[in-house]
Amino acid sequence: GENVEQHPSTLSVQEGDSAVIKCTYSDSASNYFPWYKQELGKRPQLIIDIRSNVGEKKDQRIAVTLNKTAKHFSLHITETQPEDSAVYFCAARRDSSYKLIFGSGTRLLVRP
């Protein structure tokens, strides 16, 4: 079945450094790839997403890249700040099925 693998499970960076989280998906028909941020005790919230017809998308300090051939996509956070500390989830979905599959999450810690 469909599967999304996410690495690393934990990531610690110094404030101001960059952070990269990587995901690999198994279903080659997947065409929508969102990223969610979950702060402690709160619900996951969408921070950025990308469709399969686009290779890269940026929103201020956050960017996502997609390599359809290799079936992997990555989240890039530049100039990290302590408030970026949270658990980040990648996900994949094909529009025809609505089935939204998540990765196992990455706990990001930004050290002041």
d(CA 102, CA 5) in angstroms, rounded, equals 8
Whether the CB-CB separation of 9 and 105 falls below 8 Å is answered with yes
Q: Name the site residues for another protein (rule: CB under 8 A).
A: 1, 6, 9, 32, 34, 42-46, 49, 89, 91, 93, 95, 97-105
Round to whole Å and give the CA distance between 100 and 16. 32
* Least gap, CB of 54 to another protein (angstroms): 14
Q: How far is CA 66 from CA 41, 49, 63, in A?
A: 30, 10, 10
Residue closer to another protein, measured from CB, 32 or 78: 32
Task: Compute the least distance from the CB of residue 71 to another protein, in Å.
Answer: 18
Tell me whether residue 9 or residue 81 sits nearer to another protein (CB atom).
9
Nearer to another protein, 67 or 104 (CB): 104
